[in-house]
Structure 1
Amino acid sequence: MKKYNSAPLPFMGQKRRFLNEFKTALKDYPKNAIYVDLFGGSGLLSHTVKALYPDAKVVYNDFDNYRERLENISKTNVLIADLRIILKDWPKDKQITGDARDKVIARIEAEAMVGYIDYITLSSSIMFSMKYATSLKQIKTSSLYNCIRQTEYNADGYLERLEVVQKDYKTLFDQYKNAENVVFLADPPYLSTEAGTYKSYWKLRDYLDVLQVLDNTNYFYFTSNKSSIIELCEWVETKTPLSNPFAGASKVELNAQLNNVATYTDIMLHKQWYTTTT
C-alpha cells in the first residue's frame, strides 16, 4: 500500500501536520480494531490508519464526496496542463491580468460547458494559498495568480482497502457504537474557523452534538483553540451535573500560522475509555 503524507488533492483542514503525532498516539491503540472515521474529509486519517495497521477495519465516511474529485484527477490534470501553457510566460506568483486572464477564464468556461471541474484543486493553481473557489462565478470574480502546479496529481492506491461510506455521522456512529474493539475518529469542521469548502453549514449546536460520540468511547478528536469547546466542557463539568468528555484525555497541540499576524492552535485529543484488545 502506497503511503501518503498528505492528501493527494487539496482539502481544507486535512491533517497532514498532525500525522506524526497521530501515528505516535496510534501505537497505544489496537492493530486489529475497527476504526470509524466519522468526518472523513480528505481520507488522510483513514489512509494513515490502514497503512499503519493493515489488519484493522477502517471505515472512511466520505461525506464531502472527495472520491468524486479523485475519480476526475485525469480531467483536472488536463485542465491545469492547458493553463500551464497559457501562463508559460507569465511571472510566477504574480496576479494574472489582461489578455492572459481572459484566456484563463475562457479555458475554464469551455471546460465547465462540457465536463467536470474540481474548483478546489483548480484554485490552488490560480489563487493564493488557502483561497478556494467552489464555482465558476467565484473564479471569475476573484483575483487570479500564477501559482500553476508543475506536476500532475496522482492518487493511486490512496483509498485502497478502506471501507468507504457516505452517511450522516450520527447514523454511522449508531451503526458501530455497540461494536467491540472500535475507535472513533472525529474531525468535524472547526467552529469559528473558515469552513467555506464544506458542504454543510455548522452551528454551535452541531459541534456540541458531536461530543456525544465521545461519551464512553475510544476516540481521537480534533479541534482548535478558536472553538473554545474544551473550555466550554470544563465549565459544564464544573457548573453542572454533566460530565466532561475530555477529562483524562491526552492532548497534543500544534501552532498554525494563518498569515503574518494571525495564528491559532490545532488540538488533538485522544482517550481510551475502555480497554481494547490487541
Structure 2
Amino acid sequence: MPAPANKGSPSGRKDFPWWLAVAAAIAVALGIAILVSDIYGQVFATVSQGIWITIWVSLLAFVLASGLGLLLAVMSLSEHIALRQSARFYIEIVRGIPLLVLLFYIAFVGAPAIVALWNFLTHPLQSAGLFEPLLVRDFSLLWRAIIALTLAYAAFLAEIFRAGIQAVDKGQIEAAKALGLKRVQRFRLIVMPQAMRTILPPYGNDFISMVKDSSLVSVLGVVDVTQMGKVYASGSFRFFETYSVVAYIYLILTISLSLGLRWVEQRLNSRD
C-alpha cells in the first residue's frame, strides 16, 4: 500500500497560484496608471474602441469554425472513403498553411474569386435588372478576415472533435444500437455528451488562441484592438505606452477565459 503523500511534497499540496498574483498586481498597477495618467488614459480610450470588434470576430469565427470542424470530424470518421479522404485533404492542407498566409489568400484571392463566381451565376438576373453586379470592394475586409479564421481553425477543431469522438467507449455505442437509437440520436445523446469531457480542454484552449490570433486581422485594416493601437502609436510615437495597453487588454481577455475554462473543468470533474 503506497504511503500517503506529504503535504510538503509536490504531489501532496496544491501550489498557490503565485503567477496569478503577480499578473493581478501588474494588471492593477497598469489599471491605476490608466486611471491617473492622461497619456495612458488617452491611449486606453482610443485602443479600447476596437475591443468589441476583437470579441465579435473571435466569437463569430469560432462558432462557424466549430460547426465546420464538427462536420469535418464526422466526415473523417465516415464509412465512405470519398468523405474520409476529402476531410483529410482539407485538414492536412489547411493546417500546413500559416494563418497569416491564409488570411492574405482568402482576402485577396478567395474573395475576388467568390465575387466572380457570384456574378457568373447571377448574370441572367443581372441582365434582367434584378441584381446589381457585385464588386470586390463590396466584400468587406471584416468578413474576409472572419472567413479566413473560420477556415483555418475548422481544420484544428476537426482533429479535436475526432479525437474526442473516438475516445468514447465502443461498447456504449453498441448498447445504444441495441436499444434501437438511430445514428443521429446515438451521436447526440450518447457520443457527444461523453466526448465533450475529452474535447473541452483543447477546445477552450483553441478559443483562447482564436482571441490572440484575431489580432492578425489588423493587417487588413480591420479596426480591432491591435489596429487601433497601430494607428495611435504611428501618430503619437508613444509605442511603449500604446503596446503596453494593447498587451494589457489581450491579457485581461485571455487570462479571464483561461480561468473560466479551469472553473468549468473543475465543475465537470467534481460531478464524476
Common fold: TM-score over 0.5? no
Higher strand share: 1
More relative contact order in 1 or in 2 (CA 8 Å, sep 6+)?
2
- TM-score between both structures, scaled by the size of structure 2: 0.27
Structure index of larger Rg: 2
